[in-house]
């Protein structure tokens, strides 16, 4: 009998399922006492710490994570002072949070919000209490929140689980084995996969009914000197392909110069002489320090395929500033292989690049992310994988080395190996990649779960990032699968994803979505102007709960609305279910029940 798929098994790491009605066996009693005391102080002073929707959600996650089902009534007590408190809505939100695990929100958030609202969260303890192990844990949970300043230690984001690396294709295992920290291992994995994604033109899959290629966009962000410079070695993995294309471009240029000289010598003598066309500037690495037209021309010269690889994100950001509209628009289109069009002024030529396949590897500081992507609503954000490196203030042994001849020679050798695979693939017809039926079911279940969770956490504006991470996951699986050819040597016409590669991708996405959410939260939100109410909306909002024809005509006159127009509005309101005609000349405004919420028409 087939096991019924449970998407929650794919949303979180494999851990035993505790019943939500059970409290943790360690420390919750003393933490519970602290939380209940703080809530009592909030109630005494009638303080609402849930005015911000984000804070309200974080409190729900904090209490559900710490106390399970036992946190439900605590959540109601905290929420009760909000002007629009609704018990059913609170229950629904708490139940949703109970289903979501490992969100990164802990009980620290509750302590901090209470402290920020002016609540004294310190407690005097007897000597007997101070010796209690559980009490020590409470102090650790509150930490610096009992001081007069906000906490300063940076948030530590998760690394890829160690178990993931043992399941990688052998080639990628060798890429990451020279790393000396968890962060280095992660960025070498992401950087190498993204660089390779720009060099697989014969590999494709069908996703959401469209033909897609493996190309990825990656941004590694960290403070200066955090170690993101290791990313540069990933460029060496595909550098032999760049050299091949540059050699071909030089040969074409030499041939062009010979033909041009022959043309110049013959043009006065031979009326049939034709001027040779300039050859294309073929290359793999497209320089970011370029105008959008220049970058697109180089991309077009290389058959619509290329990689932008910059370890200083501000190089591309400066290009965006000088030519923002066209550059950003082209990036967004390239992610989905949509046609990029540009006009070449020199040759007075309009050019279309159909099915562009652009990959991008960038690294930079958080400020450089902001320069490239100025707001959270910018469509470019959702197209990138983001990885925010943890800052670890530990001196690294600069003489430690996992290689005999240095990293440059090591990665050059790996690059030559990949170049061999690239050559074999280029000689073959296209290869279609696909997931198994079972993997497709798990894939849909997994992303359905995280979409719901992050809509709750970040709102509807973040949904585009979750959905594009689905396409990213599919492309990651394509790349892991094709690298298996280096192990068994077989190049099939149709490539089916192995389960270990599928599981690896899901594990990567679990981590990447947390990093992406962190970067997203640090970008400025666009302030959307409030809509001006129309006369029709004002008319409806000013109608009392119970009214008659005389009353609605009085309200209409107040806003300068003619009587006939008001009658038409009333008829429309009845049709839309906004008011109810109870009896003759007796109406009920259904938008005014127990709340002052305005319903827009």
pLDDT at 242: 96
Residue 458: pLDDT above 70? Answer: yes
Mean pLDDT of the chain: 80
| pLDDT greater than 60 at residue 54 | yes
pLDDT (average), residues 425-445? 95
- Given a contact cutoff of 8 angstroms between Cβ atoms, the answer to whether 480 and 505 are in contact is yes
Other residues' Cβ atoms within 10 Å of the Cβ of residue 164: 20
The CA-to-CA distance between both ends of the chain, in Å, stands at 52
pLDDT score for 395: 66
**Stretch among 23-27, 186-190, 211-215 having the lowest mean pLDDT:** 23-27
The whole-number pLDDT of residue 306 equals 94
SS3 content of the chain, % helix, strand, coil (to 5): 55, 10, 35
Q: Which residues contact 16 (CB under 8 A, 6 or more apart)?
A: none
- pLDDT, tens digit, 9 for 90 and up, residues 235-264: 999 999 999 999 999 999 999 999 999 888
* CA nearest to 118, candidates 52, 55, 49, 31: 49
What phi, psi does 393 have (nearest 5°)?
-75, 60
**Confidence (pTM):** 0.64
Query: Are 361 and 368 within 8 A, CB to CB?
Result: no
Name the β-bridge partners of 351: 342
417-422: long-range pairs with CB below 8 Å, 24+: 417/171, 417/486, 418/171, 418/196, 418/199, 418/237, 418/238, 418/240, 418/486, 419/240, 419/241, 419/244, 421/482, 421/483, 421/485, 421/486, 422/199, 422/200, 422/238, 422/241
Output the pLDDT for position 345: 66
Q: Which of 197-206, 284-293, 333-342, 502-511 comes out lowest in average pLDDT? A: 284-293
- Answer whether residue 11 shows pLDDT above 50: no
Strand order in the sheet with 546-547: 546-547, 586-589, 579-583
Once rounded to an integer, what is the mean pLDDT over residues 279-291? Answer: 88
Q: What angle do CA 114, 116, 118 make, to 5 degrees?
A: 75
Is pLDDT larger for residue 415 or for residue 521?
Answer: 415
For residues 295-312, one letter each, b for 16 or more C-beta atoms within 10 angstroms of the residue's C-beta and e for the rest, the string is: bbbbbbbbebbbbbbbbb
pLDDT score at 399: 65
Choose the most confident range, by mean pLDDT, from 56-60, 104-108, 478-482, 528-532.
478-482
Residue 310 has pLDDT above 90, yes or no: no
Q: Report how many helices (DSSP H) and strands (DSSP E) the chain contains, helices first.
A: 25, 13
Q: Closest Cα partner for 590 from 530, 518, 540, 556?
A: 540
Amino acid 471: pLDDT: 96
Within 10 angstroms of residue 155's Cβ, the number of other Cβ atoms is 9
User: Which pLDDT value is given to residue 128?
Assistant: 40
What is the arithmetic mean of pLDDT over 293-315?
85
**Does residue 326 have a pLDDT over 80?**
no
Mean of pLDDT values over 132-140 = 41
Q: For residue 373, what is the DSSP state?
A: S
pLDDT of residue 126 exceeding 60, the answer is: no
pLDDT value at residue 387: 94
Model pLDDT for residues 144-176, shown as the tens digit of each residue: 444 333 333 445 788 999 999 999 999 999 999
* Residue 117 to residue 47: CA distance in whole angstroms: 8
Please give the Cα distance from 548 to 543 (Å, whole number): 10
pLDDT of residue 478: 97
Cα separation, 220 vs 387, in Å, equals 5
pLDDT in tens, 76-97: 998 988 888 888 888 888 887 7
Give the model's pLDDT for residue 584: 82
CB 151 within 8 A of CB 144: yes
Alpha-carbon gap, residue 12 to 453, rounded angstroms: 12
The answer to whether residues 381 and 461 touch, using CB atoms and an 8 Å cutoff, is: no
Torsion angle, CA of 58/64/67/70, rounded to 10 degrees? 120
In the predicted structure, residue 24 carries a pLDDT above the cut 80 = no
Does the pLDDT at position 315 exceed 70? no
The pLDDT-based confidence of 234 (bands split at 50, 70, 90) is: very high
CA–CA separation, 254 and 235 (whole Å): 28
**In this predicted structure, what is the pLDDT of residue 144?**
41
Of 120-124, 387-391, 409-413, 585-589, the poorest mean pLDDT is in 120-124
CA distance 518 to 388: 8
In sequence order, which residues have a C-beta less than 8 Å from that of residue 397 and are 6 or more positions away?
A: 180
pLDDT value at residue 130 = 36
Span 26-34, average pLDDT:
62
Q: Confidence class of residue 27 from pLDDT cuts 50, 70 and 90? A: very low
pLDDT band at 542 (very low <50, low <70, confident <90, very high): confident
Model confidence at 378, in pLDDT bands (50, 70, 90)? confident
Residue-range domains of the chain with CATH: 8-146 (no CATH), 535-589 (1.10.10)
Mean pLDDT in residue range 211-217: 96
Q: What is residue 416's predicted lDDT score, i.e. its pLDDT?
A: 96
**CA-to-CA distance for 23 and 18, rounded, in angstroms?**
9
């Amino acid at each position: 009998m087939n096991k019924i798929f449970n998407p929650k098994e794919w949303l979180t790491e494999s851990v035993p399922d505790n019943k939500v009605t059970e409290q943790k066996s360690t420390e919750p009693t003393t933490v519970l006492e602290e939380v209940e005391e703080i809530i009592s102080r909030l109630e005494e002073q009638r303080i609402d710490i849930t005015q911000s929707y984000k804070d309200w959600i974080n409190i729900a996650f904090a209490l559900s994570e710490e106390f399970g089902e036992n946190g439900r009534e605590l959540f109601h007590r905290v929420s009760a002072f909000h002007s629009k408190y609704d018990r059913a809505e609170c229950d629904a939100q708490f139940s949703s949070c109970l289903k979501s695990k490992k969100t990164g929100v802990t009980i620290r958030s509750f302590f901090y919000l209470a402290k920020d609202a002016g609540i004294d969260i310190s407690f005097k303890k007897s000597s007997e209490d101070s010796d209690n192990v559980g009490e020590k844990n409470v102090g650790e949970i509150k930490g610096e929140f009992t001081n007069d300043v906000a906490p300063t230690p940076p948030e530590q984001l998760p690394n890829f689980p160690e178990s993931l690396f043992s399941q990688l294709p052998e080639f990628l295992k060798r890429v990451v084995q020279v790393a000396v920290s968890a962060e280095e291992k992660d960025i070498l994995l992401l950087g190498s996969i993204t660089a390779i994604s720009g060099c697989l033109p014969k590999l494709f899959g069908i996703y959401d009914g469209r033909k897609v290629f493996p190309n990825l966009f990656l941004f590694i962000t960290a403070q200066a000197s955090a170690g993101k410079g290791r990313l540069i070695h990933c460029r060496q993995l595909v550098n032999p392909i760049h050299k091949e294309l540059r050699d071909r471009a030089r040969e074409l240029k030499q041939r062009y110069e010979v033909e041009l000289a022959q043309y110049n010598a013959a043009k006065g003598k031979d009326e049939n002489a034709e001027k040779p066309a300039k050859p294309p500037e073929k290359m793999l690495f497209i320089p970011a320090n370029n105008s959008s037209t220049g970058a697109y021309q180089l991309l077009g010269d290389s058959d619509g395929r290329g990689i932008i690889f910059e370890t200083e994100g501000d190089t591309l950001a400066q290009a965006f500033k000088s030519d923002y509209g066209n550059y950003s628009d082209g990036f967004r289109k390239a992610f989905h292989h949509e046609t990029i069009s540009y006009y070449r002024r020199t040759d007075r030529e309009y050019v279309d690049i159909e099915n562009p396949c652009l990959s991008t590897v960038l690294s930079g500081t958080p400020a450089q992310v902001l320069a490239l992507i100025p707001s959270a609503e910018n469509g470019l954000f959702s197209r990138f994988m983001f990885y925010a490196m943890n800052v670890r203030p530990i001196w690294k042994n600069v003489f430690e080395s996992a290689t005999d001849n240095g990293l440059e020679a090591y990665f050059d050798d790996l690059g030559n190996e990949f170049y061999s695979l690239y050559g074999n693939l280029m000689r073959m017809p296209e290869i279609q990649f696909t997931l198994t039926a079972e993997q497709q079911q798990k894939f849909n279940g997994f992303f359905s779960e995280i979409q719901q969770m992050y809509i709750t956490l970040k709102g509807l504006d973040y949904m585009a990032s979750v959905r594009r991470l689905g396409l990213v996951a599919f492309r990651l699986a394509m790349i892991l699968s094709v690298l298996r050819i280096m192990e068994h040597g077989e190049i099939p016409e149709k490539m089916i994803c192995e389960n270990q590669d599928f599981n690896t991708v899901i594990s990567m996405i679990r981590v990447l979505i947390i990093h992406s959410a962190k970067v997203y939260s640090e970008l400025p939100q666009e302030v959307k102007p409030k809509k001006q109410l129309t006369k029709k909306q004002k008319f409806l909002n000013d109608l009392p709960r119970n009214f008659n024809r005389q009353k609605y005509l009085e309200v209409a006159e107040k806003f300068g609305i003619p009587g006939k127009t008001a009658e038409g509005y009333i008829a429309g309101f009845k049709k839309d279910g906004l008011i109810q005609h109870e009896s003759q000349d007796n109406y009920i405004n259904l938008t005014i029940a127990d709340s002052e919420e305005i319903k827009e028409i």
